Amino acid sequence: MAKIQIPHYLLPKLGSGANSGFCLVTVELLDGRIFSNLVVKEGIYITGRRADVGGEGPLPFSSGEICDIQRCAFIF
């Protein structure tokens, strides 16, 4: 399982509701790659992709590579 801490300066972009359970985000990295439908738990950790069992799985980046984050709307 990945447990990538979101840089503190980006946390306000998630809003106050991010602390309740989990939320989905899209992350942009410094090299321009974009990852969507990532799971945030405990309001500060990216733990995997939405499709991963329990929202926990490997991710190919580290905290220092994240340059932007955006909370996703739940659409079923």
Paired tokens of 52: 């991963």
Cα 37 from Cα 52, distance rounded (Å):
10
Question: Contact, 45 vs 5, CB < 8 A?
Answer: yes
Instruction: Look up tokens 């939405």; give the residue.
Output: 50
Query: How many distinct structural domains can be found in the chain?
Result: 1
Instruction: Look up tokens 């990945």; give the residue.
Output: 2
Cα 32 from Cα 42, distance rounded (Å):
26
pTM given for the model: 0.89
In a domain, 10, yes or no: yes
pLDDT at 17: 62
Confidence of residue 76 (pLDDT cuts 50, 70, 90): very low
Q: Pick from 1, 74, 66, 11: which is nearest to 35 by CA? A: 66
In a domain, 76, yes or no: no
Is the per-residue pLDDT at 19 higher than 70?
Answer: no
The domain in which residue 58 lies consists of: 4-71
Paired tokens of 65: 């590579």
In a domain, 39, yes or no: yes
In a domain, 24, yes or no: yes
In a domain, 48, yes or no: yes
